[in-house]
Amino acid sequence: MKIGKVREEIDSIDSQILDLLTLRGKKVLEIARLKSISGKGYYAPDREKFILERLFKKNKGPIPKDGLKAVYREILSSCRNIEAPLKVAYLGPEGSFTHLAAMEKFGSSMELIPASDIAEVFTAVEKDEVDLGVVPVENSSEGVVTYTLDILVDSHLKIIDEIMQEIAHYLASLENDIHRVKKIYSHPQALGQTRLWLRNNLPGVKVVEVDSTSEAARLASLEKGSGAITGKLAAKMYGLNTLRAHIEDLAHNYTRFLVIGKEGAKRTGKDKTSIIFSVKDKPGALYHCLAAFAQGNINLTKIESRPSKKKAWDYIFFIDMEGHIDDSRIKKALDQLEKMCVYLKVLGSYPRQ
C-alpha cells in the first residue's frame, strides 16, 4: 500500500477522533449542568483515576502507557476547562518542580498560579481565590517538608489527591563547557540531592544557596561563568544550555506533592488516608494507638512526628495508611484510636498513586 493511501486512512481516523472528542465535550457539559444542580464540585480525582485505570487495562498498544497517559491528561484538562475553568495555586516560582508536578497532573488547560510560599498556597484556597493547591510534602531522599506538615495541623483544607513526581536535576548554564562554570546556584534540597556528583565533578566550585531551583536558573541566565542545578523546565524557560542531565546522587529520586481543596475525594478502592493525632503522656500510649491499625490489618505507609508547639516534648504524629475513610476497617480503627488520643484529625482520603 502506498504512503499516500495510508495517510488518507490516518486523516479519516483523525476526523473520527475529533468527532468523538466533540461528543465527549458535549457529555461533559451535561455533567457540568447536573453538578451545578446538585452543588457538587467539578474536580473529581476519583473519577479521573477510574478513567485512566480502565483505559490502561484496555490498552493493547502500540501506544505505551505513558503516551496514553499524556494524551488523556490533555483531554481531561480540556474537558475540565469547558466544564468549569479551575484555578490551581502551586509553590512557585514558574519552572519549579511543584510547577512541573501541577502541569503533569492538571495539563495545560488549567490556570496555574504561582505562590511565594507554602502558606500562601493554603491561604489562596481557603479564601476561594483558587480552587485547588499543590504543595510538596516529602522527598524520597531528603525526607519530609516540615512546613507543609505544620500548616496541615491547623488548616481546615483536605488532602484530595497526591502526585508522585520523579525529580531529575540538570546542570544548566549559559556556557557550553562545564569547565567554564565557576559558581553554582541552587536550592539547599537540590544541593543535598546532588552532593556527591558535585564533589566528584566540580570540586572547589563556589556553591550559592537560593530560594528555589527556578531562581537558580534565573540567576545563572544573568551571569556568565555560573551555572544552576535546576529542573528541565526552568532551564528551558531561561534559555540555558544543559551541560549534564540526571545528576542526582540517588536513582529513583521522587517528590510527593499533595493536592489540597475543600471537598474530599470519593472512594476508588485504591486509596490512601492521612491523619494526625497526639497521644496521652503515659507509658505505651503510642504502642496501643498503633495496635488499632495492626488489629485491623491496615498497612501504614508513613509515620512522622512533629513537635506540637504547645508545650515542650509534646508531639503530633502524622500517619498515612492504605484505605479510604469510608472503608469499615478504617472507620473501626479510627474509632478505637480516638478513644486513646488527646487529639485526632483526618486530613483526607484520596486516590493512591
pLDDT at 313: 57
pLDDT digits (tens, 9 = 90+) for 239-264: 999 999 999 998 788 999 999 999 88
pLDDT at 312: 58
pLDDT band at 84 (very low <50, low <70, confident <90, very high): confident
Preceding peptide of 85 cis, ω within 30° = no
Q: What is the mean pLDDT of residues 79-98?
A: 88
Above 70 in pLDDT, residue 1? no
Q: What is the mean pLDDT of residues 184-204?
A: 92
- Cβ neighbour number for residue 154 with a 10 Å cutoff: 8
pLDDT digits (tens, 9 = 90+) for 126-179: 999 999 999 999 988 778 888 899 999 889 999 999 999 888 999 999 999 999
Crossing angle (nearest 10°) for helices 65-83 and 45-58: 140
Is 327 within 8 Å of 267 (Cβ atoms)? Answer: yes
- Walk me through the domains of the chain, giving residue ranges and CATH numbers: 17-85 (1.20.59.10), 170-252 (3.40.190.10), 265-351 (3.30.70.260)
Q: Which residue has 468527532 as its cell numbers?
A: 19
pLDDT at 259: 96
Q: Which residues of 313-324 are buried (b: 16+ CB within 10 A; e: fewer)?
A: eeebbbbbbebb
Mean predicted lDDT score pLDDT of the chain: 90
pLDDT digits (tens, 9 = 90+) for 49-78: 899 999 999 999 899 998 999 999 899 988
pLDDT band at 38 (very low <50, low <70, confident <90, very high): confident
Above 80 in pLDDT, residue 39? no
pLDDT band at 83 (very low <50, low <70, confident <90, very high): confident
3-state helix, strand, coil in the chain (%, to 5): 45, 25, 30
